[in-house]
Structure 1
């Protein structure tokens, strides 16, 4: 890849990264309006997105066409960058300490004053740049202050994100901090190379600068997207569980209609209906399955439960799945007996197994039961024992 191709690819990557940042900001805006804890992160990425947008050549051209050529565009970009550095550190410290560090914004304001003064005091200029064969504009002092502020804050951010992400037990926070730290690493490398370029004009530095900024943009966009991504992952997992439990729920509710609190009978509608949050719908399905199991237990003699377990042990059922397979088998038998009009039994009718000690454990157990219910072996044993019971 030639130098020009590398620069072109980096510019395209930077544009795509900035677009992703704005998309992420838009998607996260509703949640941010409701949560003050997420606002610092959102504002930090907003400032970074604004600064990077003002760095894109095509956007600068559009802006200059609208307002006329001015050095204030470059100055605004760099001031946004300094303010963003303060917001980034505030977010990191908020994540690890639980409180804002408002002094950082005052410190950022102190650094912005000399930048504005150095820009105003310099000779007339249009761009803030480090040309290949002349002095930096507006001045070397301006770039020294700008690089020092951005490089130091990014180094602190990388160290803090790495240190505290390792100590955090919250997966979303851990991933978010590491993505934020990765973005700070790309930004820090960009400013480090800018410092090198001020002193030594290596020709390979300018072409890779857009590439670093593009990686920085994608890291920041990913960091702000972590909470939404985690919520989507949880929702998809719950949808998958509902989909897995649906056939078992349908058969049990058909056998014991009284346990059902909903009229939905189509599998896909359980995922699409908006009658309540998905986690509540999943909880309701679990409750209805459990109630149906308790009802059907009254149609199974204890001797049949023993026979089911003996049959499965004889055919080599995996020990980890034994309880789930036994439950799936006797539920099939109980549905058959109840459908034949046999009245419920009396005496000790406690269900042998209902799952784990908590809701996640019970859900996992019912998933195993639903899987076992589709087994040809379970269906064969249940059909054989059902026929034997009917004959007697």
Structure 2
């Protein structure tokens, strides 16, 4: 069990989360009081340009822990800006441990505090990441990009590497100071930046079961969130000594899919499909060149049918392109192909049970490891682009016919 008489900080990165921030703060406070009744407990709200009363709602919420607010402007900032602000406050407070809770979660439980804190006890750097059960129509960036790519490069299968509910001990916080921060790490790339760097430096990563996660659907962000995640991930990959062999022993079967399934808004799905069709139509030749594994993908009602068998080879194409110096093209084209993979996945899992969906995702990750290993991709020796343009998808938002790549 964690030492119960030290400084514990819970950080809430937020932007316009007035409807949920109070409940998350109260759950954190209850968990802190139960786990560390004799300790110094602090809840830090870090927000960037909120206009809906997030700060006021947090200030009005009664807590036993000390409250701290760190604010920054909205333009050019993101989740990572808030996380780095929380890390800075934790170091200033000489915190022994820091826990992060996403401020938009509706299922936060006080017990998460002790579970996450106990996982990072010790003097050596350690990162705790969550293991949730999620709606099968969510966690798409996790399931189809972050988790399989991390497994393929670092040999470690992390079920929820970008889950948000993280914990770090003091040694880990100190270690992060030396890691280069690409622009995307100040945005939604922050979670994968933390996990990938931990794996790159062979820091111990502990998965903590937290039950169900209910929060605002990230699907409307599907054209920008994965681009930011991939940007940060590829920056870390290029600083890696090479593709590593999988860790010894079989990976444990996942239990990530929740019994509740809520499909995404069809109108949003339609708009996203149209945007992606326009993008692929504009970049047809380059996509064919960098992603030969997608050339034979047949047409589908949403654009392209990219199957469970196809996707690992598409991911291997992306890593090969990054290693060859085509960082931005690989990143951006992969986002478009990823959207088609997500919609194909939704079609594939129609009628499957939760365990069957979990098994499909496990197989996809294992096949990605094999596909990348077989390519013998040479990493290192290059650096990623110095900046990041969040406006990349501007201009691809009008209606367009579905696009397909001929064989």
Q: Which TM-score bucket, shorter chain as reference? A: under 0.3
Q: Normalising by the residue count of structure 1, what TM-score does the alignment of the two structures yield? A: 0.25
Q: Normalising by the residue count of structure 2, what TM-score does the alignment of the two structures yield? A: 0.24
Larger RCO (alpha carbons 8 Å, 6+ apart): 2
